[in-house]
Structure 1
Amino acid sequence: MVVADLADTAFDLGTHLNGDAVERVVTASAIRRVIVDTEPDCVVVTGEAPDGAWRRGVDTVRAVDSTLPVVLVAPDGSERLAAAAVEADVAAYVNRAAESDPGGRLAAAVEAAVGQGSGDRPARSGSAAEDTRIDHYRTLVETAGDPMYVLDADGNLRLYNDAMAERVGYEDADLVGESVERFTTADSLATADAAIERLLANGGGTHETVEIDLLTAADERVPCEVSLAPVRDDDGAFTGSVGVIRDITDRRARERELERDKRIFETVPDVIFAVDADGIVETTNERASDVFGIDRADLIGRSYTDLLDADVVGREAVDRYLETIARLLDSDTDAPGRFEVTLTTPDGRDRTYEVHVTLRSIDGEFRGTVGVMRDITERTRREAELERQNERLERFASVVSHDLRNPLEVARGRLELARERGDDRHLEHVDSAIDRMETIVDDLLALARQGTAVQDTQLVRLDRIARSAWEVVDTGEATLTVASDCTVRADGSRLQQLFENCFRNSVEHGDNDATSSPVSVRVGLLADDGRPDGFYVEDDGPGIPADQRDQLFEYGTAGSDGGMGLGLAIVKDIVDAHDWRIRVADGTAGTGARFEITGVTVREQ
């Protein structure tokens, strides 16, 4: 026997042939020599791909002795390779990887092929040639481990193997002569017929793989992949087809899972990413384009150092990422690491992200990370607002338990004295206490209003808001100048309240005792490197001592009106609610107080 290993699969087929005399060759010329010199009963070729080098071995055998049976052995076969074996007219096909006893299967295939080819090998013609061809296919079908069948030109079963009968659930029935329509859907039949027609139109000699649905005896629909090849007689006329089937139920399920995961991957509002051990971005979703301002394709394949150099990500983000990886590598837990980082988005806004990172490893070797970035800016704002509200509740409790109780007790005591002594002068103290309580109640209402966070902003005229605020404050003879008609993005009502409290503070504390002149207040724009970044409120009064500025915005910094000292604390709350910043400085002329509010979106007219 000749074993031809033209595919160079490097395994010894001779050990599986039950001691038969085997001569192993590796070239086509050697096959020709051995066939002529030894007159073998069978040739075994090995192949790994449908169009592999094994075909040259089959062609060489056919050129020397067209009746010599050939068995194709595949180390790890496929239905495409099986279909190619049919198309190449080999006597048997053995898929080693699919067999529990590949040696036994090979020996049986060789024995069947030799038995088929024994005798005087008469020339084939007419019906005898057709019978010989069917016998040949019978050997191939019966020795194949995959579900396999042969149809006649009308689509009726001529041959099938046990694997095919088991797949469709008719193990105990004789299916020869049954129409293929019994085992598949109309759409699948049309798909297979179209494939055969394409093969016939191309002149034959090839195979095609399509997907169909098999119908089982239990009326179940099984998705399958079938490799088809036409069968021809010696004159080239179409006499039927042969097919090798693979159940792709599991593959379809995996494809559905993959599609589901892909939809989740692309539709979640978070950034999902995978980075290899060298810091190269392997994949990410479209959300990353919104966060980093470049196309996803421009992120994939680049290292974090490259992205850092290109100002796509900031140093803080990279450092926190590397610190988290180092911490996870030093720990014994599989739990993900977590950190928060602030990034500047393409529209120039700072957003806070919560990043979860999990290590990827194979056999204990670090292979990179997968991670999720979630925008928690709004959550952080809500948490900050909740904290502010809790502080206000504490202030309310303090006011109710102390500030409001004191004038109430004064009023009650004076009222009792007035009743006992009939002295109406005590009622004046009652009236003062009531005034004091009224002031405190007003301050409480103002404080309560600050519990509403800024939910919606729009572009509003700075000059109009400032002048509206000036009209509702008791400003006496003070004057206002607004040096800009720009627009700012803000909650208009809250911005007016900010101006009201700033103006009230200037008027109440800003009278210039040295000149006895009324205070002047000015509102204007601030710029950062020539770019508008906010606005200021400035007066020409005595100013605010430097040692008092740190406590200026704190609750309880009492005003001259006997109130709770909430005016500037409310200003600070409004600034914080907009994510702005505020600082106190001296006036432009070196005197007076100047409040500078920055971080504001400004558009000049």
Structure 2
Amino acid sequence: MTSTRDAIRLLHVDDEPDFAETAAAFLEKENDRLRVETASNAENALERLESSTFDCIVSDYDMPGRSGIEFLEAVREEYPELPLILFTGKGSEEVASDAISAGVTDYLQKEAGTDQYTLLANRVQNAVEARQSATEAERRRHRLEQILKTVPSCVVQLDRDGQFVFANQRAIDVLGLSQSELKDRLYNDPEWEIRDLDGHPIPDAELPFRQVLETGQPLSDARHTIHWPDGTEKVLSVNGAPLFDDDGAVESVVCTLTDITDKRDRKRDLQETERRLQLALEASETGVLEWDYETDEVVLSDTLERLLGFEPGEFGGTLSAVFELIHPEDRTEVREQIERAVETDSVYDGEFRMIDADGDVQWGSVRGQPIEDDDSTLMVGVHHDITEHKERERDLRVIERRLEAILENTTTPMFMKDDEGQYLFVNHGYRELTGLADEEIVGRTDFELFPEETAETTWANDRAVLQAGQPIETEEQLIIDGETLQFLSTKVPIYDTGERSDPDTPVAVFGVASNITDIRKQEQELQRERDRLAEFASVVSHDLRSPLSVAQGRLQLARTTGDESHLEGIETALDRMERIIDDVLLLARQGQDIQETAPVSLHDAVADAWEMVSQDAEDGTLAFTDTDKRDVTITADRPRLLQLLENLLRNSVEHGATRSPTGADNGVKHESGEPRSQAHTNVDHGTAGSQTKSVDAADGDGSVNITVGAIKGGFYVADDGPGVPEDERETLFEAGYSTADNGSGFGLAIVDRIAEAHGWAVDVAESADGGARFEITGVEFA
């Protein structure tokens, strides 16, 4: 802005150079502030205006080329506010009318003598000062509007008649009225139903607006109730200040409105209530600062001075003095942000620590708005005390770090993946589970870490969480170092709370995996136990019932007829029941896991098993073929291996001897079917890979040849009996299954249990001689 003693640059346009120079000399003599430059025509003057700045123009009317009026029109098009005085020797009402229509500032006719220059100098100074006053008034108005728009309080302006002429956005939002609706209301509109805190109507002379208008003095914290547009009653705290015109009269009143409904006096001590309300208002007050870019002068509002520990009016200085109040660690960043806002003419918005007059550190949030006018550039800022907010943030960060420590160090595996399946986070438990480091997991997907089948399942579950936006609980498998582990996984969606994110779309999945491998194994074992109990129940309810029924029937016949031959049938039935019971108990024991194993000679085990079987088989013989003199040793629980071999050998004897005599070959055969010349009872320590023995049927109706030998991964027991039909092979190993009249149906079930306890597999097929061939595989050779 130009002060009252600043130089006034004047451009004098006249086609008579001598007159222009003479006028310049007299004007500068009349007013030492004037600095006059001349131009001989309008075109030259317009060029001078483009290259330099002038405070005023004096122009002749009658000039070659463009006339004074045409020059005025050209000036107004580019410089609408620049003062222009028409100084002409040709005067008429018509010329004056045209000049006024074109926007001339003043009109003066040339006369004889030097007094005309005195008058012209006064006219120039008046025109320039009038423009400066208007510019300053506009600058103040613009600055006030910017401040009013920035502050978070409700701010309204009323004219002398009490009509609303301005309301900031906060007032519009709070009052619930548009600008047009608000401007239709008066300060004492009956719809407001203004009353004091006791519910009594307030006289018009005591209303805040009227008091400020009549006294011309500011008013602070005037309280009354009004009815809001939504029908609710509110308690307002009103601050009012007058705005004066050039004559010193109150032109309008500016008021700030604060809703203090929740803090009204509820029959408590009035003085205590006012004290608390005042503390609440002071805690929420807004400080304002104004910084002039050119002079570097900073002005703080009374509220901001109070927030910083100063008395009103105590602070005074430049921006450097303000920086002295900023915490040393924050000064560089704040300075850079302010400089960037100035260079880019953008809003400054920052948070930083300040040191108040007492040396205490407090956090402030400042938002600055650049304001420019013709003479200066200002930044008007609004300051809020956010110390408590920052302390809460600090406490939350401490809690967050504690939670992160808990998540990281818990032994339960936890992880987070983004919406493309890439790991964002894994905790210590997950790293321990996989045996991988953080950098080997984070940024990768399950397809890069685990087998494809496993990855497909986990990714499908992740997609279900992302698509539905709902947590799920599901079982998943992971293969770690070749071992399949079962997990109960709980997965929940994670949302991004950023301002630009979609709050309804998950961006990640957080999961917790509980290892339930042992639980599932226990459940499987319990299921097997339940199945065995079901088998035992079947035996008790079915297999024992038949011989029991026979025994009861024979006993009834013996009693009624006295025929003791029935006692033999009772004894046979009881023997069968005893055998079934023994086999059930044996079956129950064989289903248990193997505890200890040792190397066992298959040759010796077959011989010992046959010795037990041959005690029940009349005329039975055992023979081994001696081939490569090599015995086969396997790893097994020897007593249970003997039971397995006994049951297989006895099965061949009991079922294989059903062959007719004509179909029997009393010579011993190899698995290849080649006959052996002679059977003998001594044991030959040859290879188990070709061990053979033959058994003669007890009833003499036929005999069965049984071959025991080693195969890849195990051994076999084969015979040349009738074999097992294909449609019966699937049920052959079920408890209670038997095709023999005197069989218990548990022999092969016991074989299956013993093999399962060892981790072996047992299967049945047709032998080379058309009989049954039982193969036990998965055996470990010692």
TM-score normalised by structure 2 residue count: 0.43
Q: What is the DSSP-based 3-state SS (H/G/I as helix, E as strand, rest coil) of the residue aligned with 2:425? A: strand
CA drift of 1:51 comes to 6.2
> Do the aligned partners of 2:415 and 2:427 also contact (CA within 8 Å) in 1?
yes
Q: What is the DSSP-based 3-state SS (H/G/I as helix, E as strand, rest coil) of the residue aligned with 2:743? A: coil
Instruction: Indicate which of 495, 515, 518 corresponds to 1:361.
Output: 495
> Do the aligned partners of 1:473 and 1:503 also contact (CA within 8 Å) in 2?
no
CA drift of 1:281 comes to 1.8
Instruction: Indicate which of 609, 617, 633 corresponds to 1:470.
Output: 609
Query: Is residue 2:350 matched to residue 1:75?
Result: yes
CA drift of 1:593 comes to 0.3
CA drift of 1:470 comes to 2.4
Residue in structure 2 matched with residue 379 of structure 1 by the alignment: 519
Query: Is residue 2:601 matched to residue 1:460?
Result: no
> Do the aligned partners of 2:656 and 2:771 also contact (CA within 8 Å) in 1?
no
Query: Is residue 2:589 matched to residue 1:410?
Result: no
Q: What is the DSSP-based 3-state SS (H/G/I as helix, E as strand, rest coil) of the residue aligned with 2:571? A: helix
Query: Is residue 2:747 matched to residue 1:567?
Result: yes
> Do the aligned partners of 1:407 and 1:437 also contact (CA within 8 Å) in 2?
yes
> Do the aligned partners of 1:281 and 1:302 also contact (CA within 8 Å) in 2?
yes
Instruction: Determine the C-alpha separation between the residues in 1 that align with 2:454 and 2:414.
Output: 15
CA drift of 1:430 comes to 1.5
Instruction: Indicate which of 718, 723, 726 corresponds to 1:539.
Output: 718
Residue in structure 2 matched with residue 183 of structure 1 by the alignment: none
Q: What is the DSSP-based 3-state SS (H/G/I as helix, E as strand, rest coil) of the residue aligned with 2:329? A: coil
CA drift of 1:41 comes to 2.5
Residue in structure 1 matched with residue 112 of structure 2 by the alignment: none
Instruction: Determine the C-alpha separation between the residues in 2 that align with 1:380 and 1:19.
Output: 69
Instruction: Indicate which of 363, 367, 384 corresponds to 1:95.
Output: 363
Instruction: Determine the C-alpha separation between the residues in 1 that align with 2:611 and 2:427.
Output: 52
Closer/same/farther in 2, CA of residues 249 and 289 from structure 1, 3 Å limit: closer
Q: What is the DSSP-based 3-state SS (H/G/I as helix, E as strand, rest coil) of the residue aligned with 2:751? A: helix
Instruction: Determine the C-alpha separation between the residues in 2 that align with 1:402 and 1:551.
Output: 17
Higher relative contact order structure (alpha carbons within 8 Å, sequence separation ≥ 6):
1
> Do the aligned partners of 2:465 and 2:493 also contact (CA within 8 Å) in 1?
yes
Q: How many equivalent residue pairs? A: 401
Closer/same/farther in 2, CA of residues 49 and 338 from structure 1, 3 Å limit: farther
> Do the aligned partners of 1:473 and 1:504 also contact (CA within 8 Å) in 2?
no
Instruction: Determine the C-alpha separation between the residues in 2 that align with 1:364 and 1:492.
Output: 66
Query: Is residue 2:414 matched to residue 1:272?
Result: yes
Residue in structure 1 matched with residue 117 of structure 2 by the alignment: none
Query: Is residue 2:424 matched to residue 1:282?
Result: yes
Once the two structures are superposed, residues 486-534 of structure 1 have per-residue CA deviations (whole angstroms, 9 ceiling, x without a partner) of: 546xx666555444434443444456853134144435353xxxxxxx4
Instruction: Determine the C-alpha separation between the residues in 1 that align with 2:456 and 2:730.
Output: 33
Once the two structures are superposed, residues 418-475 of structure 1 have per-residue CA deviations (whole angstroms, 9 ceiling, x without a partner) of: 34433221221122111121122112212332564x2x65553253798287267414
- Please tell me the residue identity of whatever aligns with 1:50: E
Instruction: Indicate which of 728, 733, 736 corresponds to 1:556.
Output: 736
Closer/same/farther in 2, CA of residues 385 and 365 from structure 1, 3 Å limit: same
Instruction: Indicate which of 740, 752, 764 corresponds to 1:584.
Output: 764
Instruction: Indicate which of 422, 432, 455 corresponds to 1:318.
Output: 455
Q: What is the DSSP-based 3-state SS (H/G/I as helix, E as strand, rest coil) of the residue aligned with 1:557? A: coil
Residue in structure 1 matched with residue 291 of structure 2 by the alignment: 22
Instruction: Determine the C-alpha separation between the residues in 2 that align with 1:19 and 1:369.
Output: 46
Once the two structures are superposed, residues 168-223 of structure 1 have per-residue CA deviations (whole angstroms, 9 ceiling, x without a partner) of: xxxxxxxxxxxxxxxxxxxxxxxxxxxxxxxxxxxxxxxxxxxxxxxxxxxxxxxx
> Do the aligned partners of 2:591 and 2:753 also contact (CA within 8 Å) in 1?
no
Residue in structure 1 matched with residue 475 of structure 2 by the alignment: 339
Instruction: Determine the C-alpha separation between the residues in 2 that align with 1:294 and 1:466.
Output: 50
Instruction: Indicate which of 511, 519, 524 corresponds to 2:710.
Output: 524
Which runs of no fewer than 5 residues in structure 2 stay unpaired? Answer: 1-145, 152-285, 298-315, 340-347, 369-383, 497-502, 615-619, 669-693, 695-704
- Please tell me the residue identity of whatever aligns with 2:576: R
> Do the aligned partners of 1:509 and 1:541 also contact (CA within 8 Å) in 2?
no
> Do the aligned partners of 1:461 and 1:486 also contact (CA within 8 Å) in 2?
yes
> Do the aligned partners of 1:556 and 1:565 also contact (CA within 8 Å) in 2?
yes
> Do the aligned partners of 2:543 and 2:736 also contact (CA within 8 Å) in 1?
no
- Please tell me the residue identity of whatever aligns with 2:664: A
Closer/same/farther in 2, CA of residues 487 and 315 from structure 1, 3 Å limit: same
Name which of structure 1's ranges 272-281 and 516-525 shifts more when overlaid on structure 2. Answer: 516-525
- Please tell me the residue identity of whatever aligns with 2:462: I
Instruction: Determine the C-alpha separation between the residues in 1 that align with 2:480 and 2:289.
Output: 75
Closer/same/farther in 2, CA of residues 282 and 561 from structure 1, 3 Å limit: farther
The CA RMSD measured in Å over matched residues stands at 4.8
1:45-444 aligned within 5 A = 45=323, 50=329, 53=332, 75-77=350-352, 95-97=363-365, 252-264=398-410, 267-268=411-412, 271-286=413-428, 288=430, 292=434, 294-295=436-437, 297-307=439-449, 313-329=450-466, 331=468, 334-341=470-477, 343-346=478-481, 348-362=482-496, 363-444=503-584
> Do the aligned partners of 2:465 and 2:491 also contact (CA within 8 Å) in 1?
no
Closer/same/farther in 2, CA of residues 466 and 509 from structure 1, 3 Å limit: farther
Q: What is the DSSP-based 3-state SS (H/G/I as helix, E as strand, rest coil) of the residue aligned with 1:76? A: strand
Closer/same/farther in 2, CA of residues 389 and 360 from structure 1, 3 Å limit: same
- Please tell me the residue identity of whatever aligns with 2:451: G
> Do the aligned partners of 2:418 and 2:507 also contact (CA within 8 Å) in 1?
yes
> Do the aligned partners of 1:324 and 1:337 also contact (CA within 8 Å) in 2?
no
Instruction: Determine the C-alpha separation between the residues in 1 that align with 2:517 and 2:638.
Output: 22
CA drift of 1:93 comes to 7.0
- Please tell me the residue identity of whatever aligns with 2:720: G
1:588-603 aligned within 5 A = 592-598=772-778, 602=780
Q: What is the DSSP-based 3-state SS (H/G/I as helix, E as strand, rest coil) of the residue aligned with 2:598? A: strand
> Do the aligned partners of 2:612 and 2:646 also contact (CA within 8 Å) in 1?
yes
Q: What is the DSSP-based 3-state SS (H/G/I as helix, E as strand, rest coil) of the residue aligned with 1:564? A: coil
Residue in structure 2 matched with residue 42 of structure 1 by the alignment: 318
Closer/same/farther in 2, CA of residues 374 and 248 from structure 1, 3 Å limit: closer
CA drift of 1:317 comes to 1.3
- Please tell me the residue identity of whatever aligns with 2:454: A
Instruction: Determine the C-alpha separation between the residues in 1 that align with 2:150 and 2:483.
Output: 73
Once the two structures are superposed, residues 65-106 of structure 1 have per-residue CA deviations (whole angstroms, 9 ceiling, x without a partner) of: xxxxxxxx993235xxx5xx79xx999976324x9xx99xxx
Closer/same/farther in 2, CA of residues 400 and 23 from structure 1, 3 Å limit: same
Instruction: Determine the C-alpha separation between the residues in 2 that align with 1:92 and 1:441.
Output: 92
> Do the aligned partners of 2:408 and 2:428 also contact (CA within 8 Å) in 1?
no
Closer/same/farther in 2, CA of residues 354 and 246 from structure 1, 3 Å limit: closer
Once the two structures are superposed, residues 350-369 of structure 1 have per-residue CA deviations (whole angstroms, 9 ceiling, x without a partner) of: 44444443333331223232
CA drift of 1:558 comes to 0.6
- Please tell me the residue identity of whatever aligns with 2:736: G
Instruction: Determine the C-alpha separation between the residues in 1 that align with 2:583 and 2:552.
Output: 22
Instruction: Determine the C-alpha separation between the residues in 2 that align with 1:285 and 1:458.
Output: 40
CA drift of 1:291 comes to 5.3
> Do the aligned partners of 1:506 and 1:521 also contact (CA within 8 Å) in 2?
no
Query: Identical aligned pairs, as a percentage?
Result: 29
TM-score normalised by structure 1 residue count: 0.54
Closer/same/farther in 2, CA of residues 335 and 567 from structure 1, 3 Å limit: farther
> Do the aligned partners of 2:590 and 2:757 also contact (CA within 8 Å) in 1?
no
Closer/same/farther in 2, CA of residues 562 and 94 from structure 1, 3 Å limit: same
